[in-house]
Amino acid sequence: MRGRFSGSMITVAMAAAAIGAVISLSVTRTSVQAQATHPARVGGKPNFSGIWQANNEANWNLQPHAALPAAVTQSGIFPYDYARVPAAPVLALGAAGGVPGSLGVVQGDGQIPYKPEALLIKKANAEHWIDRDPELKCYLPGIPRAMYMPYPFQITQSTNEIHIAYEFSNTARTIHLDRVEGPPDDTWMGHSVGRWDGDTLVVDVTNFNDRTWFDRAGNFHSDALHLVERFTLMSTDIIRYEVTIEDPKVFTRPWRIAMPLYRRVEPNIQLLEFRCNEFVEEFMYGNLRKQQLVKHWEGDTMTVDITRKVPPGDGFYQWYGK
Amino acid sequence: MRTRLPMSIVAVMVTISVLAVLKPTNVTTADQAPVASVTTPPAGPVLKTPWGEPDLQGIWTDESDTPLQRPARYANQEFFTEEQRAELDKERSALLGRDKRVEPGTELDVAGAYNGVFMSFKHTGLRTSLIVDPPDGRIPALTPEAQKIAAADRQFRLALLQATETCKNKSVACSGGSYDPTPSPQRTALPPRYNTARMNRHDGPEDDALPDRCLTGGLPEFGNAYGGSFRRIVQTPGGISMFYDVGQGQGWQRNIVMNGSPHLPTNIRQWYGDSRGHWDGPTLVIDVTNFSPKTDFQGSRENLHLVERWTRAGPSSLEYVVTIEDPTVWTRPWTVKQEFTKQSEQENKIYYEPRCVEGNYALPSLLLGARTEDRAFAEGRGPDPATRDNATDFVGVEEDPLQ
Amino acid sequence: MRLERLVKVGVVGIALWGMATSVSAHHAFAAEFDANKPVNFKGTVTKMEWVNPHTWLHVDVKKPDGTVENWAVEAGTPNVLFRRGFTKESLLPGTEVVVDGYQSKDGSHRCNGRDLTLPDGRKLFLGSSGTGAPYELTPSSQKSK
C-alpha cells in the first residue's frame, strides 16, 4: 500500500515536473521568440518596437480625481458635488459607466494651469461631453491622447522613421528622425520630429489643429499646442513616457504628464481592428434616417426612449465640427 | 499624324532616371525593362536594411496609369509600343484639361464638379493591363453563383431608377432596365446583400456607398484614380508596418504579423483581413484571409484570399504582385502586377494624414437633403423623390481612350 | 489603376455590382446639391477647412442690401491638392473668390464649387502650384506654347 502510494506520488511528481518543464520551456521559447523579433537595439539605439499599451485612467481624466458615477452626471437629491448621479444617456450602464478614480498623470501639483477663460471652456466641455468629445465621434484622438487610450498600439522603429499604429480607429503617426519639411496644414495627430538624447527618444510635436482633447474630462488645447515627448526604456517591457505640454493660448505655463507604457507580452499579440467610424454611424447620422432606427429599449426596471433631432441652421454642421 | 515624344524630353527623362539612382527624387519614369514573367524577381543586388533584411521602406505610389483589364483592341499585346504610349498620353492630356460644362441647371452639371481637380491622370504605363494572369489580361469568368448575385444586385439598383428621367431617356446608367412611371416596390426593400456601392436612395447611411461613409479603402490596393494610392512602409528587425493613404483621404494600417503564427480564428473577420507575412529570399510574401462580408473587391467578399509578393526591384522601384482568388466568385485565380515608384520622404506633403470621417460633411448633408425632399413631397411642394436620380456619377471627363 | 471605371455617366457605380468602390468619386454631388438652386457670387474667404474628403471654403458674401451671408463652399480633396503643391498658405483668409455652383438641398448656406475662380479669372485648384505632382499628365490646355 505504501509502495503504491509512493508510486502514485512519484507518478504525480513526475507528471508535475513534466508539466512544469513544458510550461517553463514554452515561457522560455516565448521570451526567446519575443527577443528574436525585437532585438534590444536598432541602429545603435534602444529599440521601442513592439505592441504597447498604457494601463491607467488618463483617458478618463488626466488630473487626480475620486471615482465618479459616470462621465456625465446630474444633481442627486442633495445639492452637493459629491452626491451626483449618472445622467440619462449613461444611466443604463450602471457600474460599467462609472469613472474609476486616479492619482492622475499630471506632474507637480496635479493641476492643469488653464487661463481663466479657458477653464470655463473646459468646464463647458465636460458638461457637454456627449456632444463635444471627439472620441465619441471616432475622430482622430491626437497626441498625447492616443498614447494612453485603452487600446494597444504598435511601434515599428527603423533608423530614419519610427511609425506608430494605434488600434483605435486606424490612427497612426510617423516620428521623423531625418529632416523633413513641415506639413502643408495643421493636423490632428501632429507633426512629430524625433532625436536621441542618449538612450532617450525626444520627440517634438507641432502643427496641431484645435480639434482634439486630452481626455474624456473636457481638457482641450488650441492650434498653438506644442509637445515635447520623452520615451525611455525602464526595462525590456516598460517605457517611461513623459510629455511637456505648452499652449500659450490656453495655459499660463507649460505642464507635464508622465506614465509607464507596458509591453503586451502575450505570445501572439497583434493589433486587431477597431473601426469605430462604422460603429458610431447611428450616433452621428441616426437622426437623419427616413425612419428612426434606434428608439426604444425595455429592461426590467426601466424603459429608454430616444427622440432624435436635427440642430437648426448652421448648428447642424457645427455639431460635426466640434 | 502621330506625335512622338520629342527626343529632348526623352533625354531629360533618361537623365532624371539616372539621377534617381544617385539621389532619390520624385521625378522618375518607369526605368526598367518590361518583365515578361509573373513571378521572377528582377536580377541585381538586393537592397538591404542596416540590419540585413530586404529593404522595402519608403513612400511608394504608382506613377503611371495602366488599366486593370486589357482593352479589347490590344487583345494580343502585353506591352504598349512607345508610339502608342505617347499617343495615349496626348489624347488623355487633351481630355483632362477640358472641364466641359454641360447644360447649367441640370443634375449632370452639379455632378460635373468632380472634374480635373479631383482626378489624377498619369502617364500611360508600359503594360496594356495590370492583370498578367490569365494571359489575356482579363478577369476570369464568374461562377454561376456570382453571376446570379451580380444580376440580383444590378436588378435591385435598376429598380430604384425605374421611375427616373435616367431611365425615361434610356441613358447608359439604365441599361438593362426600363422606365416605369410607378416607383418600384423595391424602393422600400433591403438590397439583396450588405450594400457597398452607390444606389438611388438615401434612407440612411447604409444606402450610401462605402466611400461616402468613409468606410472604403481595401485590399488589394494597387492604384486609384481619385487621389492616388500611396503606401508608407517602415521596417524594424523582424517587423514591417504599412500605412496607406488612398483616394480622398481614405487610409488604413495593415498589421502584418511576421512571427509565423497561423491566421486569426475564422470567426474574426476584418475590413482589411488578416495579413501574415514571411520572407522568401528578397521577396516579402503576405497571405491575407479573414475578410469581412462588408468588404467588396470586384464582387468578392468574405471568401477573398490574397497572396502578395513585394520585391524591391531597384533603388526607386517596388514590384507588387498579388494573386487573387475566391472560388465562390471566379472560376480560377488571377494575378495583378504593379510597379510602385519611391517618393520623396522629405516632402511631407506626399503622404499626408489620411483621414476622411472628420471632414465628411457631405454624408449628413445628403441625408438631410433627402429628408428635405421627402418632406417637400409629403407637403405637396415637391416631386416624388422616387422619380429623381441622385446616384448617377458624371466623372467630368469623357471616355478615356485606355478603354 | 482601374481605368475601366473612368467613363461617363452611370457605368461608374450604380449599374455595376461589386466594382471596387475605392475608385469611384467620394460621393455623387447630385445627391447633396440641388440643380434647381444655382448660385453665383463673389465673396471673401474667412476660413479654410483643409479636411478630407473635401476642402471647405468659408466665404463671406456681401448682399446688395449690405448684409453679409456666410457660405461654405465644397471644393477639392486636400491630400490631392497638397501633393500638387497647395498648402494652407495657398488660400488665405481675405482672398476674394468667385463661386459658381449649386446650393445644398437642405437649403443651408452651403454649395459646391462647380467653378471656383479668383477675380482675375484663374481657376482655383486646377493645375498645380509650384512643384506639383510631376508624374501627373499636364492638361494640354495648361502646357506652355
Mutate to test the interface with C, among A137, A170, A181, A185 (most CBs of C within 10 A): A185
Q: Collapsing DSSP states into helix, strand and coil, what is residue A96? A: helix
pLDDT band (50, 70, 90) for residue C144: very low
HSE, CB side, 13 Å, CA atoms: give it for residue B180: 11
Surface of A (206-265) touching B: CB under 8 A: 211
Region of poorest pLDDT, from A146-160, B35-49, B228-242, C62-76: B35-49
Q: Residue B115's pLDDT is what?
A: 67
Q: What's the one-letter identity of residue B105? A: G
* Nearest neighbour of B368 by CB, restricted to A183, A286, A310: A310
Residue B14 above 60 pLDDT?
Answer: no
Determine, for residues C108 and A313 on separate chains, whether the beta-carbon distance falls below 8 Å: yes
Looking at the complex, does the CB of residue A318 fall below 8 Å from at least one CB of chain B? no
Chain C partners of A314 at a C-beta cutoff of 8 Å?
70, 108-109
Percent of chain B predicted with pLDDT > 90: 63
CATH 2.40.128.20-classified regions of chain A: 50-65+101-263
Chains touching chain A, criterion 3+ CB pairs below 8 Å: B, C
Q: What is the mean pLDDT of chain A?
A: 90
For residue range A192-236, what is the model confidence (pLDDT) as tens digits? 999 999 999 999 999 999 999 999 999 999 999 999 999 999 999
At C127, is the pLDDT very low, low, confident or very high (cuts 50, 70, 90)? Answer: low
Beta-carbon contacts of residue B276 (< 8 Å; ≥ 6 apart):
B256, B257, B258, B261, B262, B263, B286, B287, B288
CB neighbour list of residue A314: distance below 8 Å, 6 or more residues apart: C70, C108, C109
Contact yes or no for B70/B131 (Cβ under 8 A)? yes
pLDDT at residue C114 greater than cutoff 70: yes
Q: Return the pLDDT at C140.
A: 65
Does residue B221 register a pLDDT over 60? yes
Restricting to B residues 246-305, those with a Cβ less than 8 Å away from any Cβ of C are 246-250, 296-300
pLDDT of residue B10: 38
Query: Given CB atoms, is A184 within the 8 Å cutoff of chain B?
Result: yes
CB contact under 8 A, C88 and A314: no
Rounded mean pLDDT, A133-146: 97
Give the pLDDT confidence score for residue B44 in this predicted structure: 59
CA–CA–CA angle B332, B148, C27 (5° rounding): 90
Rounded to 5 degrees, what angle do the CA atoms B78, B79, B84 make? 135
The rounded distance, in Å, linking the Cα atoms of B388 and B165 is: 7
B195 or C119, which is more confident: B195
User: Chain B partners of A35 at a C-beta cutoff of 8 Å?
Assistant: none
Contact C56, C109 (CB under 8 A): no
Of A139, A180, A288, the CB nearest to B358: A139
Q: What is the ipTM of this complex?
A: 0.87
Q: Is A285 on the interface with C (CB under 8 A)?
A: no
The pLDDT-based confidence of C22 (bands split at 50, 70, 90) is: very low
8 A C-beta contact, residue B123 and residue B85: yes
Q: What is the pLDDT of residues A40-98, one digit of tens each?
A: 999 999 999 999 999 999 999 999 999 999 999 999 999 999 999 999 999 999 999 99
On the question of pLDDT at A256 being above 50, the answer is: yes
Reduce the secondary structure of B242-274 to three states and give it as a string: EEEEECCCEEEEEEEECCCCCCCCCCCCECCCE
Report yes or no: B215 at the A interface, CB cutoff 8 Å: yes
A79's CB contacts (< 8 A; 6+ apart) are none
Q: Cα distance from B252 to chain A (closest Cα, Å)?
A: 6
How many Cβ atoms are within 10 Å of A149's Cβ, its own excluded? 23
Picking from A139, A271, A278 by the largest number of B CB atoms within 10 A of its own CB, the best residue to mutate is: A278
CB–CB contact A281 B213 (8 Å): yes
Shortest distance between the Cα of B241 and any Cα of chain A, in A, equals 6
Judging contacts by C-beta atoms under 8 Å, the chain A residues touching residue C88 are 184-186
Mean residue pLDDT of chain B comes to: 84
Contacts of B236 in chain A (CB under 8 A): 38, 42, 47, 49, 156-158
What CA–CA distance (Å, rounded) separates B167 from B388?
Answer: 10
Contact predicate B47/B312, CB 8 Å = yes
**pLDDT digits 0-9 by tens, A277-314:** 999 999 999 999 999 999 999 999 999 999 999 999 88
Mutation target to probe the B interface, by most B beta carbons within 10 A, among C58, C137, C141 is C137
B132-171 pLDDT, tens digit each: 999 999 999 999 999 999 999 999 999 999 999 889 988 8
Predicted pLDDT at C133 = 67
Query: Which of these ranges, A22-36, C5-19, C42-56, C128-142, has the smallest mean pLDDT?
Result: C5-19
pLDDT of residue B223: 86
User: Could you tell me the pLDDT band of residue C25, with boundaries at 50, 70 and 90?
Assistant: low
Instruction: Flag whether pLDDT at A27 surpasses 70.
Output: no
DSSP class per residue in B83-130: HHHHHHHHHHHHHHH------TTSHHHHHTTSSTTT---BEE-SBS-S
Q: Report d(CA B30, CA A2) in Å as an integer.
A: 84
Residue C139 has pLDDT above 80, yes or no: no
**CATH topology for A50-65+101-263?**
Lipocalin (2.40.128)
Is the CB of residue B203 less than 8 Å away from at least one CB of chain C? no
Chains touching chain B through at least 3 C-beta pairs below 8 angstroms are A, C
From C7, C72, C106, residue closest to B372, measured CB to CB: C106
> Is the pLDDT reported for residue A238 higher than 80?
yes
Query: Who's near B346: CB < 8 A, 6+ residues apart?
Result: A178, A179, A180, A181
pLDDT of residue B94: 78
What residues of chain C lie within 8 A of the CB of B326, using their CB? none
Are the beta carbons of A275 and B251 closer than 8 angstroms? no
CB pairs under 8 A between A and C: 22
Answer yes or no: do B368 and A33 touch at CB < 8 A. no
The C-alpha atoms of residue A276 and residue B157 are separated, in whole angstroms, by 28
A:B CB pairs within 8 Å:
153
Higher pLDDT, A228 or C8: A228
Percent of chain A with pLDDT over 70: 89
* Stretch B213-239: mean pLDDT: 88
Q: In sequence order, which residues have a C-beta less than 8 Å from that of residue A235 and are 6 or more positions away?
A: none
Residue A259 pLDDT exceeds 60? yes
Q: Which domains does chain C have, with CATH numbers?
A: 29-133 (2.40.50.140)
* Distance (Å, whole) CA A94 – CA A100: 13
Q: pLDDT tens, C56-91?
A: 999 999 988 999 999 999 888 888 888 888 888 888
pLDDT, residue A14, reads 53
Cα–Cα distances in Å, from C48 out to A56, C69, C95? 38, 16, 11
Residue C108, helix vs strand vs coil: coil
Is C3's CB within 8 Å of B67's CB?
yes
Which chains pack against C, by 3+ Cβ pairs within 8 A? Answer: A, B
Collect all residues of chain B within an 8 Å Cβ-Cβ radius of residue C142. 97
